[in-house]
């Protein structure tokens, strides 16, 4: 038996999570285990009613779960960034979900904008560092001459920054990116572990030719860790170059490891290569703590309640959740069910079909259980 927390969130989030839970329950019935769901009403509605984003009780309760199944966050009634940073990023940081795992895989029957490419050509994994780099929140905007000192204290490091700037500019803005050797080492090691059981090729992404201090450290760590994996070939690519090669030769890639900011960019390119945001899942993973699995798309409030949202990314994220729990056969069956539904044309209108959100979930569930649609 597995206890799993579910956060529907905003917009289409509750609908796609409900469908995802249905499919995962079908997989649990088929493969002889049980999922006990516990729902958390975290999102825009509660924030507007109470002013709460995440409470200490939320965090304490969620810490009892190995996995969180997350829908979507964002509401047009609330300024951009408040919910995203106050809930989604806060969960990633609080639970130290330092691995962002993004499969880039073209499923059979899915159209890709890359001419001539097939599912055999597009099947790689992006491992994105998820808690450091420019997303640590060190920055400001100011005018005139000021002295600013910042303290950043976390489990991995404690750093102080002093800034003394004089400028004739009307206003100055700055953001500071931080990488630690320890934080880089653990994500790079995880990526090498992935590569060792796949095609044994790892590509590291950075911009060390310009941002040589922060990404120079990153390269040093990749070289250091690579020495312990002699069967894995290692290469380096600048972030601007890899966007070109993703488009031209996606078949070359196996495991791509990247710092946080660059990962945020290239994973969206990966999503489009595999057919669009409606087909792109993600995992925020702490191997020793609480992990979270979600579709990477937004809350699409204009489609809320219409039953037309594509649930495939959410269901695929559920497959990743099952894999994380050790139910590998069930995870594979969910992904196979997704492919069967696409081949048989049981798709939502964004993929050219006329199925409803619930209809896609029902079809995939029946495929998993061995029935016909």
Q: pLDDT tens across 39-55, in order?
A: 999 999 999 999 999 99
Catalytic option among 45, 108, 240, 354: 240
What is the per-residue pLDDT for 156? 46
Mean pLDDT to the nearest integer, 2-23: 98
Catalytic residue among 47, 98, 135, 367, which?
135
What's residue 296's pLDDT?
A: 93
> Which of 73-77, 171-175, 280-284 has the lowest average pLDDT?
171-175
Residue environment code for 253-282, b if the CB has 16+ CB neighbours within 10 A, otherwise e: bbbbbbbbbbbbbbbeebbbbbbbbbbbbb
Going by C-alpha positions, the residue among 292, 214, 228, 229 that lies closest to residue 260 is 214
Task: Specify the higher pLDDT residue, 10 or 213.
Answer: 10
Residue 154 has phi, psi (to 5 degrees) of: -140, 175
Quote the pLDDT of residue 160: 55
Catalytic residue among 268, 303, 304, 350: 268
Which residue has 């990526």 as its token pair?
191
At residue 171, the pLDDT reads 75
Please report which helix (H) or strand (E) contains residue 29, including its range.
helix 13-31
Residue 202 scores a pLDDT above 50: yes
N- to C-terminal Cα separation, the chain = 29
Place of tokens 């790689």: 124
Choose the catalytic residue: 29, 39, 193, 264: 264
Q: Is there a catalytic annotation at residue 207? A: yes
pLDDT tens sequence across 292-306: 999 999 999 999 999
How does residue 133 score in pLDDT terms, banded at 50, 70 and 90?
confident
Q: CB-hemisphere CA count at 13 Å for 146?
A: 11
Contact 108, 120 (CB under 8 A): no
pLDDT at 360 over 70: yes
Residue-level pLDDT at 140? 73
Name the catalytic one among 30, 85, 117, 207. Answer: 207
Cβ atoms of 234 and 286 closer than 8 Å: no
For the chain, how long is the longest CA-to-CA vector? 71
pLDDT tens figures, 163-196: 555 556 677 787 888 899 999 999 999 999 999 9
Q: Does domain 1-98+280-373 have CATH number 1.10.3210.10?
A: no
pLDDT, average across residues 275-284: 94
61 in active site: no
Which tops the pLDDT comparison, 152 or 295?
295
Per-domain boundaries in the chain = 1-98+280-373
What is the reported pLDDT for 373? 44
Strands (E), the chain: 2-9, 35-39, 67-72, 99-105, 123-129, 133-142, 146-153, 158-165, 172-178, 201-206, 233-238, 255-258, 281-285, 291-295
Q: What local confidence, expressed as pLDDT, does residue 169 receive?
A: 62
Does 58 participate in catalysis according to the annotation?
no
- What average pLDDT does the structure give for the chain? 92
- What's the mean pLDDT in 349-367? 96
Per-residue pLDDT at 233 exceeds 70: yes
* Whether residue 155 lies in the annotated active site: no
């Amino acid at each position: 038996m597995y206890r799993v927390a579910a956060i529907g969130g905003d917009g289409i989030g509750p609908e796609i999570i409900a469908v995802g839970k249905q499919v995962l329950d079908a997989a649990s019935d088929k493969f002889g285990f049980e999922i006990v769901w516990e729902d958390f009403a975290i999102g825009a509605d509660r924030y507007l009613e109470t002013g709460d984003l995440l409470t200490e009780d939320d965090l304490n309760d969620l810490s009892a779960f190995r996995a969180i199944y997350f829908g979507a966050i964002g509401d047009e009634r609330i300024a951009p960034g408040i919910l995203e940073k106050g809930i989604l990023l806060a969960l990633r940081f609080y639970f130290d979900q330092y691995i962002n795992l993004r499969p880039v895989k073209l499923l059979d029957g899915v159209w890709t904008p890359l001419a001539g490419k097939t599912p055999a050509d597009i099947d790689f994994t992006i491992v994105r560092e998820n808690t450091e780099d420019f997303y640590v929140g060190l920055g400001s905007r100011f005018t005139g001459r000021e002295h600013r000192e910042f303290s950043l204290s976390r489990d991995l490091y404690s750093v102080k920054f002093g800034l003394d700037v004089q400028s004739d500019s009307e206003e100055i803005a700055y953001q500071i990116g931080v990488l630690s050797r320890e934080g880089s080492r653990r994500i790079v090691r995880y990526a090498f572990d992935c590569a060792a059981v796949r095609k044994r090729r790892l590509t590291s992404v950075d911009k060390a030719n310009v941002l040589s201090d922060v990404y120079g450290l990153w390269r040093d760590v990749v070289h250091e860790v690579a020495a312990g994996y002699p069967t894995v070939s290692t290469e380096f690519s600048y972030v601007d170059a890899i966007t070109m090669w993703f488009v031209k030769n996606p078949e070359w890639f196996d495991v791509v490891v990247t710092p946080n900011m660059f990962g945020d960019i290239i994973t969206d390119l990966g999503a489009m290569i595999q057919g669009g945001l409606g087909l792109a899942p993600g995992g925020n993973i702490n191997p020793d703590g609480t992990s979270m699995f979600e579709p990477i798309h937004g809350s699409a409030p204009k489609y809320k309640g219409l039953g037309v949202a594509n649930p495939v990314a959410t269901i695929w994220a559920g497959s990743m959740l099952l894999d994380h729990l050790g139910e590998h056969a069930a995870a594979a069956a969910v992904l196979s069910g997704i492919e069967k539904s696409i081949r048989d044309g049981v798709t939502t209108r964004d993929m050219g079909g006329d199925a409803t959100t619930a209809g896609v979930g029902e079809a995939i569930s029946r495929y998993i259980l061995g029935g016909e649609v």
